[in-house]
Amino acid sequence: MFIDKDTQDGVREYLLGKYGEAQKFRIQRGVQQAAAFWRIADGSAEEFVKFCQLNFIPDPGRLQTHFKRIEGNFETLYGHLNKISLDLKRTLHLDWGEILPIDLRFGRFDPAAHVSDDMFDSQIAFDLLLNFPSYTLAEKAELGPAWSRLEWAYARCGDLFISRLPARVSQNAAAAFSEAETYISEYNIHMGQLLDDQGKTLFPENLKLISHWGLRDHLKGLYAEKLGLARQEAIHEVLKRIIQQDIPKAMVNGREFFWNPFKNKVYKAGKEIAWTPEPNTRYLHLLSVFKAMKDMDEYFPSLPSQPQRKFELERELPETEVERLFEEVLTSAAVKNVAALIEKRLGRKLKPFDIWYNGFKPRAKISQAELDRRVGQKYADLKAFEKDMRAILQELGFSAKSADFIAARVAVDPARGAGHAWGAMMHSEKSRLRTRVNPGGMNYQSFNVAMHELGHCVEQTLSLHKVDSYLLAGVPNTAITEAFAFIFQNRDLEILGLKDETRNARQLKALDTLWMTYEIAGVALVDMKVWNWLYKNPEANPEALRKAVMASAREVWNKYYAPIFNIRDQILLAAYSHMIDAALYLPDYPLGHLISFQLESYLIGKNLGTEMERMCQAGHVIPQLWMKNAVGKEISAAPLLEAAAEALKLIKK
């Protein structure tokens, strides 16, 4: 540190003498924070002393006025930077035709890369560091329940500059993520080119599915099909080839040849031809993302690794606590009993891809063709869906006034990838809902994704516009917005006019949620293991990483799945695309399922719209405090496990 302890002590002594013991904590923490980031280029030690003496604000009224100016200016800054980034990536994110080299260059560009440098150079960052203490997660958990809304807003202001990240590092990270996202969003398999061992095609000629989401969701929809099992096995083979990177390169986005994924042979005009595999591109992108994140480590001295930052800073849930929640689900007796029930329903032994069994859902009894017909009848295209959003929201329980307010602040776009939501970061902008739509119009898969993304967009809108401070906008972490997305997605059939009249519907919902959580909790553990491996092997090449990912998938499978499926060494848990392009995102999904079940249980007999508006008004406090406000209890696996156990008793009767 350029500012030594004696200099800091002298500043503290001066400020305490001038403003008294009532300001002791703010003075001690503020001087410490500012000193930690002050460099010789920022000025001499004497200039640091003078800055602190002149800029510390002791008066509560003046501090509040100061804060209001700060949050207004940050909405202007972050809001416009978000809009610039959103607009520059449109050709990469939206289905607008061919991606040109210039599109990739703009996609790699981060308009916010220099913000940190500029904030420190202009001394804005030092002003905030001096006047707004930053708190550790443990301190927030201890002190936060007693804080006022203003005190919480001040704490979030204190979180704005916990690192001094150089523009070069930010720009490199933006480039790595953009390239990985583009790779994933363009990774399609033309299913009409797949052959079985008899040389027959297995899927409709024009069916194109993105990996992994499209492949997985199509597999789920095949449980109700006559030829479903053969097609599911083919999709399973495709996913394994992708993970192993022995998929023929020509079959990625290609429809010139035919491919037998079981034997991994390629044909042209009925004759077998030579081919080359994809050259570990999947793992090259993951490695690039890792290196970009690792380059940030030295600038976060209190959180010097991406796993620490992801759990402690972004999720605000300790990694050990999250892992404990997942293992509680993975080792539960209820999971074993649900597996036995699935096996009985299928009339066969479980296969690895049955981790995606969806037979507890009402739609499992409806063919994919019928679901597609229903969607096409109601929504010919995305414009029809966008026009119907007000009616959808009212159907879900929002008042006419709230439905109008929200729908006017959500725009719908055709996604190049599987789909996503992108929230606004200023009140004048809209959230963006993106879902993939085939040339023939919306089908059930695109509608189901749209309902999921609508949940995100409603949360994003409410937690921006209904929260009392801009710096408290949002929800505590991604898992909570995923929970709302799951709640909306689960109501997709209602919007199609297919009321769930299934006997024991609530109990079946508990079993379905448990099985989904069981599946994705293992996927999350693989993601976590891979990142721990990367930190132990930072010089690894793509081939070593490929082997490590598969080894991690086998390890998790053998521990938590092999005893139930009676088959070992499976790698399917490594199929998820967000492992490649999102840097430890996957744990948010099982957390989202657990939170979603708690929210759904609380919502029984209540109005979703009214309650969601109330919950979202809590804003960006820590997740456990948010959950207590929302449902009266912290995040827990117990409600889901208990409900599943009771459901099994009832259904067996």
| Each residue's pLDDT tens digit, 331-350 | 999 999 999 999 999 999 99
Residue 311 lies in a domain: yes
Please identify, among 282, 310, 328, the residue that sits at the C-terminal boundary of a domain. Answer: 282
Q: Are residues 209 and 159 in the same domain?
A: no
Report pTM.
Answer: 0.93
Instruction: Check whether residue 192 and residue 79 sit in a common domain.
Output: no
For the chain, give the percent of residues with pLDDT over 70: 99
pLDDT at 4: 97
Instruction: Let me know if residue 471 belongs to a domain.
Output: yes
151 class by beta-carbon count within 10 Å (0-12 exposed, 13-18 middle, 19+ buried):
exposed
Please, which pLDDT band fits residue 499 given cuts at 50, 70 and 90? confident
The whole-number average pLDDT for the span 527-538 is: 98
Residues 16 and 143 in one domain: yes
Instruction: Identify the pLDDT of residue 170.
Output: 95
| Residue where one domain finishes, among candidates 182, 210, 238 | 182
177-200: pLDDT as tens digits: 999 999 999 999 999 999 999 999
Q: What pLDDT, in 10s, does the model give residues 453-476?
A: 999 999 999 999 999 999 999 999
Residue 365: its pLDDT value, please? Answer: 74
Q: Is residue 647 part of a domain?
A: yes
User: Are residues 472 and 399 both part of a single domain?
Assistant: yes
**Same domain, yes or no, for 137 and 9?**
yes
Find out whether 550 and 240 touch, Cβ atoms under 8 Å: no
Residues 277 and 287 in one domain: no
Q: In the structure encoding, which two tokens stand for residue 13, read together?
A: 């002594």
Instruction: Indicate the residue among 282, 305, 322 that finishes a domain.
Output: 282
| 305-326 pLDDT tens trace | 999 999 999 999 999 999 999 9
156 falls within a domain: yes
Question: In this structure, are 398 and 540 located in the same domain?
Answer: no
Q: Ramachandran region of residue 615, left (φ > 0), alpha (ψ -120 to 50) or beta? A: alpha
**Which value, to the nearest 10 degrees, does the dihedral of the CA atoms of residues 449, 455, 459, 465 take?**
90
Number of structural domains found in the chain: 4
What are the backbone angles phi and psi of residue 500, rounded to the nearest 5°? -85, 105
The pLDDT assigned to 502 comes to 67
Confirm whether 492 is domain-assigned. no
457 to 209, 408, 464, 627: CA distances (angstroms): 24, 11, 11, 20
DSSP string, 160-215: TTS----HHHHHHHHHHHHHHHHHHHT-EEEGGGBB-TTS-B-S-TT-EEETTHHH
pLDDT tens figures, 349-363: 999 999 999 999 877
Same domain, 390 and 411: yes
Q: Is 347 contained in some domain? A: no
pLDDT bracket for residue 225 (50, 70, 90):
confident
Query: What does pLDDT average to over the chain?
Result: 95
Q: Is 625 helix (H, G, I), strand (E, B) or coil?
A: helix
348: nearest Cα among 28, 567, 603, 586: 567
Per-residue pLDDT at 516:
97
Domain that holds residue 192: 188-282
One domain, residues 441 and 533: no
Q: In this structure, is residue 316 part of a structural domain?
A: yes
Residue 550 belongs to some domain of the structure: yes
**pLDDT over 70 at 501, yes or no:** no
Angle at 529 between CA 217 and CA 637, to 5 degrees: 65
Are 425 and 520 in a shared domain? no
Residues 146 and 60 in one domain: yes
Look at residue 653 in the predicted model and tell me its pLDDT: 55
For residues 68-96, average pLDDT: 96
272 plus 293 within the same structural domain: no
